[in-house]
Amino acid sequence: MSDSPAYAAYKRRIHRNLAFYGLGLAAFFLLMAWAERQGLSRVWLGPIFLFSTVMIYAAIGIYGRTSDASEYYVAGRRIPPMYNGMAAAADWMSAASFISLAGGLYLQGFSGTEAQPGGLAYVLGWTGGFCLVGLLIAPHLRRLNLYTVPDYFDVRFGGRWPRLIAAFAAVLCSFTYVVAQIYGVGLIASRLTGVQFEIGILLGLGGVLLCSFLGGMRAITWTQVAQYIILLLAFLIPVSWLAYKQLGNPLAPLVYGKQIEKITEIEKVLRDSPAERQVRRVWERREKEYEARLQDIEGALRRDRAAALERVRQLKARDADSALIVAAARELAALPKTPASARELWTRAMADAHERAKPLGGLPPHGQAFAGDPQGTPQEQQAFETSRLNFLALVFCLMVGTAGLPHLLTRFYTTPTVSEARSSVAWSLFFIVLLYLSAPALAVLVKFEVMQGLVGSSFDALPSWIGQWAKVDPALISITDVNGDHILQFSEIRIAADIVMLVTPEVGGLPYVVSGLVAAGGLAAALSTADALLLTISNSLVRDVYCHEVRRDVPPEQRVILSKFALLGVAMLAAFVAALKPADILPLVSASFSLAASAFVPVMVLGIFWRGATRAGAVAGMLGGLGVTVYYMLANSPAVRAFLGLEAGSVLWFGILPVSAGVFGVLTGFAIALVVSLATRGGD
């Protein structure tokens, strides 16, 4: 097929369509830039970007609609390698990569601390994982002409349990992943349009469903190609602009090293600044106050309620402004309802105050290679070992997790041949590297801009974007005059990783049209991954569970219809969970990698490269690996510990953070699968 004249004509038609799309996109961006210069309000620019890009994706989704099973599940297996690589890159550049990766590097530096693995771990782990996919997994799975990842376990091991466990694991890790994407969609839609976060989720969800509901993998593939072009421009334009502004050279990855030296010098000044020391002392005092509250939770909660009630009563008694009364009533309503919730809340607040009482507001020096000192005191040596171990553990989890993510592996089912599956992996790496080389540069340039342009400003002259983002969610950005000097100190700024990329144009003073483009890029990244994840979940539920366990004689057309309605139901459930804001994007995505790594990779690799792997070994290995990973995550979850009445804190093995729980799961899965397979050889 790949050498036929019809396929060559098909590729020429795609090249022509891509060229027209690129020209149209450039014309639209220039039109918006011209409109802004002519005075078009920002109130209109944001919704225009949101509406226009979603309509482009919707048009592609409608054009690519299908009820053919092969087209719906694997895009007819005729996607050329370069376009499959672009789609895989868009699939891969999720909200975590586009929105939060630069934020992780901004907050955690390159190699982190004892409590943070470091932003460079994400770059190395995610990129290295693609090498594992290309070398070990993708070509072999493509050769088997499968439709889903659980299909592999069915074909290789037979029986019902390997397939059922694989389907459950695919749903679990994909659902965790898709909640993070829909959270990102809500964040951007809310900021662009000014609507509430929950309504923003529904707006973005409409775009997701228009693409994946109608056309399955075929529509998603071409939508992802279109989304990749947008997110590439959205990432490279602001980082190039900032590099040119600060260094006179737009090639950010080549020149940003000079800014690291300047940031290091600024960090030394900030550490010794009297005003910064004053802020740190205030945070130390607050940490002690929370510590005292936790000594007598019920008494402290009772006093807080009494004080809040008395404030409301006094305001009403003197007929104060209704806004003040409402604000006081909200403070009263926001108090913890039970001692357990108070313990959880105050424990987190104490930990936050503890971090912010450190120099630089708890952020590690940006150029530091691991915390502590290998030649220092025993405590410093321990800190160095722990931070290095967590860095390596996260790199391992992300690499191995990449090789096990169902929605990513399914992407390589869509090429005509095995060799083109390999080529598309190489194209994917190329398109991903274009952005990943720029992410560390972006983090450094934004931090320099904050340190030079924002720190030292008067609180009366802060830029308007700070308040606008705080309206979306106060947890995204917090700037408080802690020491009361009316001058902004570095330790008084709290920016969430999820918005560092999105505020880059505003921090750098770029035209608002660039902010619209960046938001459209973030939306494209989140939508592209959400589409693929929802399709993976619905296919697992219908093809791997319903059509095997409930009703086997379902015609292909009915399977497609069932998959579409399953996708709709899962999307609504994921939107509901995302609206609860269970966690930030990076931790949710990292957790899904650990789950995928431990559930799939050990048994999949053994099944491919070792004939001795048995069905019993596969079942035991998958359950053991997944069980250990889930246990480690739950045992160290503050919410779970508070719910079970356990003491606050963590029970870490070898000091490894829960975000890297997959380390234990993968090793356990390999060991159990190997031992049980050896013990049951000849029994399958």
Question: Rounded CA gap, 385 and 521, in Å?
Answer: 38
Give residue 308's pLDDT.
87
Comparing CA positions, the residue from 425, 403, 405, 404 lying closest to residue 414 is: 425
SS3 211: helix
Q: pLDDT-based confidence at 212, cuts 50/70/90?
A: low
Question: Rounded CA gap, 174 and 574, in Å?
Answer: 10
According to the per-residue pLDDT averaged within each range, which of 89-93, 431-435, 606-610 is highest? 606-610
Give residue 277's pLDDT.
92
DSSP-H helix ranges across 451-511: 464-472, 504-507
Question: Rounded CA gap, 312 and 316, in Å?
Answer: 6
Q: Is the pLDDT of residue 582 over 80?
A: no
Give residue 227's pLDDT.
87
Q: Is the pLDDT of residue 446 over 80?
A: yes
Mean of the pLDDT values across residues 329-353? 83
Give residue 211's pLDDT.
63
The average confidence (pLDDT) of the chain is 86
Give residue 215's pLDDT.
67
CB atoms inside a 10 Å sphere around CB 286: 18
Give residue 337's pLDDT.
82
Segment among 139-143, 171-175, 273-277, 680-684 with least mean pLDDT: 680-684
Q: Is the pLDDT of residue 614 over 90?
A: yes
Mean of the pLDDT values across residues 416-430? 86
State the SS3 of 604-625.
HHHHHHCCCCCHHHHHHHHHHH
Q: Is the pLDDT of residue 633 over 60?
A: yes
Q: Is the pLDDT of residue 398 over 80?
A: yes
Segment among 51-65, 209-223, 366-380 with least mean pLDDT: 209-223
Cβ 537 vs Cβ 142: under 8 Å: no
Comparing CA positions, the residue from 570, 528, 535, 533 lying closest to residue 53 is: 528
Our measurement of the distance from residue 51's CA atom to the centroid of its chain's CA atoms, rounded to an integer in Å, reads: 23
Burial of 547 (0-12, 13-18, 19+ CB in 10 A): middle
% helix, strand, coil for the chain, step of 5: 80, 0, 20
Q: Is the pLDDT of residue 473 over 80?
A: no
Over residues 302-337, the pLDDT tens digits come to 998 888 888 888 888 887 777 788 878 878 887 888
Query: 203 vs 62, 524, 526, 527, CA distance in Å?
Result: 18, 13, 13, 11
Q: Is the pLDDT of residue 88 over 80?
A: yes
Mean of the pLDDT values across residues 547-564? 82
Question: What whole-number percentage of the chain has pLDDT above 70?
Answer: 97
Question: What whole-number percentage of the chain has pLDDT above 90?
Answer: 24
Segment among 69-78, 136-145, 184-193 with least mean pLDDT: 184-193
Query: 131 vs 124, 263, 423, 607, CA distance in Å?
Result: 11, 33, 12, 19
Q: For residue 218, report the phi and psi dihedrals to the nearest 5 degrees.
A: -65, -50
Give residue 591's pLDDT.
86
Q: pLDDT-based confidence at 404, cuts 50/70/90?
A: confident
Segment among 255-264, 339-348, 385-394 with least mean pLDDT: 339-348
- The pTM for the full model equals 0.83
DSSP-H helix ranges across 80-159: 81-92, 95, 101-108, 120-132, 138-143, 149-157
Q: pLDDT-based confidence at 409, cuts 50/70/90?
A: confident
Question: Rounded CA gap, 118 and 659, in Å?
Answer: 12
Give residue 107's pLDDT.
85
Give residue 378's pLDDT.
87
